[in-house]
């Protein structure tokens, strides 16, 4: 511990003696009457408001003055803050592709952004974007997010605000109204906010900011300017309702006939501003049916597949809950733990499944979060999952048995996050899951410390988590992480040490592939982020990773990685990445048997990837990787991932992504065991092919139809089977026929979306999928195209839904009532 105290003292010394970069300041004027949001800027107060101008290029030519004149004004009243921006340009040259909300990135459109750091903590913020076609985007900024293109915003957050764009003979004009109920800020007589503006000109790919954003500097919000002049803000009551109603029809083919269901549901989301700083979000009887289908795969690994979160309530405004890495929101409302057991019980000759819900119904879910004027962030998440039951009928006696598949469950997460000077912070997190009855309960507590010197050049991370599982078989464990490095400048480096005990388990509300490891890693990179004669930017990196088991404390693996990236002046890019594993790895997880390990072959891997100029109608990307072992013959691994996007018009575009992975000599657990329980492994050819087609047609800036079709095929063919010796080596055994696998997954998601009013939405959805009871015969259909054709001809499930969502602002209701 002494060296940690010394390290913190050293970083504190940095804070005392280092200096700050200069920042700009803009004065906001208070107005007596709100402007009409028409994109004209003809009110008198716009002419007298202080102006933000002289933008500085961030990319491609960092540090230069922007080639495009921009003027921005900010005014406010007691209900909202208003932004007026005049973006000078030849209107014939302004790119104007019509995009979906939150989808302007790398599309053929110009846009303007405003950023607020309302707590002035240099870490958290809001982004509001308006394109040249008046399409809105909005996002939250937090220190745990990063981005390879543009600001590191979480676009899953949606707010209610107004904007209007007009074209002029010398450019285009943006006018924005952002109500205070869409922001959070500390209660002070005088406000001091972080502020920045961005302008993006697509034809030249120029991204410029009012306050300079240095690409060599770590962090984004900490490089904002300042907004002053906000005084005596008296925001109205922040109370809004989002009632919804859903109706639909689902038909699912099974081996025992087609199951038809009429779908109907209703519920409401409530958002209440407890004060200027804190907001309570609640969803009552939530329905998450109209979300993108998961990317299902045939999982042969010993690790759980982690799926992306697509449910709006769990993606909007959750940055404080995600900071510690202890919250995997897909645990809430997941598949019941007894779902597959019930399905097996209902699949015999004498039983039939009457009902077996595949998702836990939530009674409610609540989020409470915000930050005080002392920059103390507080977040509380709670959700209650209903007890779930399957109904299984005995086809002979006609009796129906009710089987519980999930108990009543309470999920709770509490986060306390203190923002310190600069980008430093300390965060305490507690995750708790309590189940009714004699089920398993869990509690995980985590402490995270991030320290940076005042110039934001060096950083330290410390992490300690402790998990405690309660129930019939209680156990506990811990995780520690210590990381130190240089985080800014051309040369950056980092030394990291991670220890996870063998009984560490955050998985009741978090996600961890496997505990029981000790990892030490060193990484160094050289980053040229300002233009040279041939490149806009480039970087090189190298890392070495040493792995051991925590218990028993033995060596398992060492790995070397190197990579390079070049971004050319014609806006093409190229990446080369290599990985080398020189020793036989001891894999203690593959055999699914405690204390046993499998030796895995040394190998080397090379990947080449890149993309073309995304401004063009036809945009393509590619990736080709190859791996081989020198110790085992005929063991090649190939992965390729080409993709294209074509923009047919400013309204319509399509994207096709194709991925092939072929491991011709994979050794892995065969999901078989000897009579004495010893695991059996197999040498197999493991191929998978994924085709993903997406498309969008935008009718207006607030109305579109989207398509997403995905086919996944996995073919596993065994060449031999083996036992495993006590020291991990392969032992020959007799071949076991009939173990090959042929797996297909097929999903189509089509959504028509119409935002008919600010915050209100009408959605019609169609979902199509391959029925589980009708697998494709791999002995007959041996190729990808044969499987794809058979999938299209197989029985499929269909779901048609329509949902109406209304945004109700209590203040508007109050005004209408007073007027009447």
Whether residues 390 and 451 fall in one domain: yes
539 located within any domain: no
**DSSP 8-class letter at 772:** T
144 located within any domain: yes
* Rounded Cα gap, residues 106 and 460, in angstroms: 34
Whether residues 266 and 342 fall in one domain: no
* Rounded Cα gap, residues 79 and 82, in angstroms: 10
* Rounded Cα gap, residues 70 and 308, in angstroms: 38
What does the pLDDT look like over 89-110, one tens digit per residue? Answer: 999 999 999 999 999 988 999 9
Which pTM value belongs to this model? 0.90
The CATH code of the domain that includes 15 is 2.60.40.1190
pLDDT at residue 169, rounded to an integer: 96
551 located within any domain: no
What does the pLDDT look like over 449-467, one tens digit per residue? Answer: 999 998 899 999 999 999 9
Whether residues 310 and 188 fall in one domain: no
* Rounded Cα gap, residues 677 and 696, in angstroms: 52
Q: What is the mean pLDDT of the chain?
A: 92
- The structural domain count of the chain equals 3
Whether residues 223 and 258 fall in one domain: no
In 3D space, the residue among 198, 113, 33, 250 whose CA is nearest the CA of residue 797 turns out to be: 250
What does the pLDDT look like over 511-552, one tens digit per residue? Answer: 999 999 999 999 999 999 889 999 999 999 999 999 999 999
Residue 820 pLDDT grade (very low, low, confident, very high; cuts 50, 70, 90): low
- The boundaries of the domain holding residue 770 are 251-273+622-820
pLDDT > 90? residue 170: yes
Whether residues 133 and 59 fall in one domain: yes
Q: Is 359 helix (H, G, I), strand (E, B) or coil?
A: coil
Whether residues 189 and 258 fall in one domain: no
What does the pLDDT look like over 314-360, one tens digit per residue? Answer: 888 788 999 999 999 999 999 999 999 998 898 888 888 888 888 89
312 against 443, higher pLDDT: 443
φ/ψ of 47, rounded to 5, equals -75, -20
pLDDT at residue 5, rounded to an integer: 38
pLDDT at residue 10, rounded to an integer: 42
* Rounded Cα gap, residues 132 and 137, in angstroms: 12
Domain stops at, among 444, 463, 489: 489
743 against 259, higher pLDDT: 743
What does the DSSP assignment read for 88-138? ES-TTTS-B----TT--TTSSB-EEEEEEETT--SS-EEEEEEETT--EEE
514 located within any domain: no
Whether residues 316 and 426 fall in one domain: yes
Domain stops at, among 489, 520, 537: 489
pLDDT at residue 817, rounded to an integer: 66
What does the DSSP assignment read for 189-254? SEEEEEEEEEEEETTTTEEEESS---TTSS-SGGG-EEEEEEES-----EEEEEEEEEEEEEEEEE
Whether residues 335 and 476 fall in one domain: yes
Whether residues 157 and 260 fall in one domain: no
Exposed/middle/buried for residue 779 (C-beta within 10 Å: 0-12, 13-18, 19+): exposed
pLDDT > 50? residue 18: no
């Amino acid at each position: 511990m002494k060296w940690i105290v010394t390290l913190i003292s050293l970083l504190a010394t940095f804070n005392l003696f280092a200096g700050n970069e200069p920042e700009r300041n803009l004065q906001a004027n208070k107005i007596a009457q709100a402007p009409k949001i028409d994109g004209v800027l003809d009110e008198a107060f716009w002419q007298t408001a202080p102006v933000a101008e002289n933008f500085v290029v961030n990319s491609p030519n960092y540090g230069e003055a922007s080639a495009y004149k921009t003027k921005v004004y900010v005014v406010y009243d007691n209900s909202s803050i208003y932004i007026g921006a005049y973006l000078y340009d030849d209107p014939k040259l302004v790119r104007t592709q019509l995009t979906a909300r939150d989808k302007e990135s790398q599309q053929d459109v110009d846009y303007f952004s405003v950023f607020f750091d309302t707590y002035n903590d240099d870490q958290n913020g809001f982004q509001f974007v308006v394109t040249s076609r008046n399409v809105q985007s909005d996002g939250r900024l937090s220190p745990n997010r990063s981005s390879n293109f543009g600001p590191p915003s979480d676009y899953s957050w949606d707010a209610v605000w107004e904007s209007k764009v007009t074209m002029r003979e010398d450019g285009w004009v943006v006018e924005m109204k952002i109500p205070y109920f869409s922001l959070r800020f500390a209660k002070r007589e005088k406000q001091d906010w972080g502020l920045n503006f961005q302008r993006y000109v697509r034809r030249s790919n120029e991204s410029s900011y009012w306050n300079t954003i240095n690409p060599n500097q770590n962090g984004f919000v900490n490089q904002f300017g300042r907004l002053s002049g906000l005084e005596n803000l008296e925001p109205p009551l922040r109370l809004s309702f989002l009632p919804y109603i859903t109706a639909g029809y689902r038909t699912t083919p099974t081996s025992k006939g087609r199951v038809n269901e009429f779908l109907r549901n209703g519920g409401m989301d409530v958002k209440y501003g407890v004060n200027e700083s804190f907001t309570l979000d609640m969803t009552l009887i939530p329905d998450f049916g109209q979300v993108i289908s998961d990317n299902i795969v045939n999982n042969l690994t010993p690790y759980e597949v982690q799926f992306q979160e697509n449910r709006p309530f769990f993606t909007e405004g959750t940055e404080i809950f995600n900071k510690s890495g202890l919250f995997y929101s897909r645990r809430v409302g997941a598949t019941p733990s007894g779902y597959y057991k019930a399905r097996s019980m209902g699949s015999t000759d004498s039983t039939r499944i009457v009902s077996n819900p595949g998702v836990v119904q939530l009674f409610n879910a609540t989020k409470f979060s915000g930050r005080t004027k002392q920059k103390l962030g507080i977040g509380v998440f709670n959700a209650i999952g209903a007890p779930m039951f399957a109904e299984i009928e005995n086809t002979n006696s006609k009796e129906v048995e009710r089987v519980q598949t999930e108990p009543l469950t309470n999920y709770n997460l509490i986060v306390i996050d203190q923002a310190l000077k600069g980008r430093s912070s300390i965060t305490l997190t507690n995750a708790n899951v309590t189940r009714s009855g004699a089920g398993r309960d869990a509690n995980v507590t985590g402490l995270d410390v991030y320290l940076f010197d005042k110039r934001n050049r060096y950083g330290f991370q410390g992490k300690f988590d402790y998990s405690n599982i309660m129930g019939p078989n209680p156990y506990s464990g811990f995780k520690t992480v210590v990381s130190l490095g240089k985080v800014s400048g051309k040369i950056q480096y980092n030394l990291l040490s991670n220890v996870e005990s063998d009984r560490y388990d955050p998985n009741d509300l978090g996600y961890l592939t496997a505990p029981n490891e000790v990892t030490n890693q060193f990484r160094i990179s050289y980053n040229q982020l300002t233009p040279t004669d041939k490149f806009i930017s480039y970087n090189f990196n190298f890392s070495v990773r040493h792995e051991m088991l925590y218990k028993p404390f033995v060596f398992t693996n060492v790995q070397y990685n190197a990579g390079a990236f070049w971004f050319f002046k014609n806006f093409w890019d190229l990446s080369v990445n290599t990985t080398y594993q020189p020793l036989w790895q001891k894999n203690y997880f593959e055999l699914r048997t405690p204390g046993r390990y499998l030796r895995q072959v040394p190998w080397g891997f090379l990947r080449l990837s890149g993309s073309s100029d995304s401004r063009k109608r036809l945009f393509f990307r590619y990736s080709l990787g190859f791996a081989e072992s020198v110790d085992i013959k005929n063991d090649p691994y190939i992965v390729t991932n080409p993709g294209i996007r074509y923009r047919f018009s400013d309204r319509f575009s399509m994207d096709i992504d194709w991925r092939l992975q072929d491991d011709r000599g994979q050794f892995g657990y065969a999901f078989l065991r000897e009579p004495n329980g010893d695991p059996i492994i197999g040498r197999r050819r493991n191929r998978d092919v994924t085709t993903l087609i997406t498309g969008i047609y935008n009718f207006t800036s607030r109305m579109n139809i989207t398509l997403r079709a995905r086919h996944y095929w996995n073919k596993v063919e065994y060449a031999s089977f083996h036992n495993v010796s006590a020291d991990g080596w392969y032992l020959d055994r007799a071949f076991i026929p009939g173990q090959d696998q042929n797996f297909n997954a097929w999903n189509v998601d089509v959504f028509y979306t119409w935002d008919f009013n600010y915050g209100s939405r009408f959605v019609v959805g169609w979902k199509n999928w391959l029925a589980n009871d009708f697998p494709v015969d791999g002995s007959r259909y041996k190729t990808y195209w044969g499987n794809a054709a058979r999938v299209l001809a197989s029985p499929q499930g269909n779901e048609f839904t329509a949902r109406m969502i209304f945004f109700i602002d209590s203040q508007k209701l109050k005004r209408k009532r007073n007027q009447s």
